[in-house]
Amino acid sequence: MGDLSLRLRILGFFLTETIGKQMLNFGVFGLDGGRKEESPLPIDAAFVVLSSGLYEYTTLVKWDLDKEGGKADSSVEEKTAEPEGSEILEPYVGMEFESEDDAKKFYIEYARRIGFVVRIMQRRRSGIDGRTLARRLGCNKQGFSPNHKGTLGQEKKPRPSAREGCKATILVKMEKTGKWVVTRFEKEHNHPLMITANGFNTTGDKDKKIEELTMELAHQEQLCSAYREKLFAFINNVEKQTEELSSKIEVIVDNVRKLEAERQRFTHRSAGSLGI
């Protein structure tokens, strides 16, 4: 019973010391000279020593997505009021953005003010890691709806289509610097542009919201993936340190036992020499 109590006390001391260091090394609390950026996770980890001599840890994760890199990318709820008659900034070849999302947001806002709805179109991916390297956006009236035929070859009654073969489009590519640059911009539309009093199209507004929500979802999925990677790295590191601590504790316990045995032998010899 004495060995078990000693083992638990030593284990608790080492775990408290080590976990505190690990939490700081991972930048959880931001107290280690600005290393907070290494982990976006606000994590609290606690080790609990059980009566059986075993231990477990509980990791508490606060998924605060809106605080990653500032405010989360959302253009759905934010509709900025702009002065009437203010100048509309047009895209141009060579225009730079910090990210693909920034380019999308800019073009969607431009479309809103001009009077059309954006269609998210083709993209080119990297064959190595699957990253998006280029993205094309355009008017939702681009292209034509195909004629669908029935099983016997007769044409079905065509459904109403919003596509009118519009050529308005923009192409953005990611440069080696990491910035996204406009490499092509077609401004002209072959159909009337519709602007309401609040600056939104009366037709196709649902499509616009769906596109914005899709962008928001993709952004949040990227954040969640980054959070998971940091969390798993933290847990793996803690488990590795715990295994090393267990080995060290075994050595310490053995040394304590040897010292206790030496103390008892010394006590017996002293008592014998004194005739006790």
- pLDDT tens, 179-212? 999 999 988 887 787 765 444 444 456 666 787 7
Between 133 and 55, the higher pLDDT residue: 133
Token pair for 241: 């340190």
Q: Say if CB 189 and CB 116 are below 8 A apart.
A: yes
Distance separating alpha carbons of residues 138 and 107, to the nearest angstrom = 9
Please give the model's pTM, rounded to 2 decimal places: 0.38
Mean pLDDT of 224-231: 89
Distance separating alpha carbons of residues 140 and 166, to the nearest angstrom = 8
Which residues, 6 or more positions from 4, have their beta carbon under 8 angstroms from its beta carbon?
Answer: 53
Q: With 50 as the cut, is the pLDDT of residue 67 above it?
A: no
**Counting beta carbons within 10 angstroms of the beta carbon of residue 39, is it exposed (0 to 12), middle (13 to 18) or buried (19 or more)?**
buried
pLDDT digits (tens, 9 = 90+) for 14-44: 555 555 555 444 443 333 334 444 433 333 3
Mean pLDDT of 232-247: 88
At 172 the pLDDT is: 92
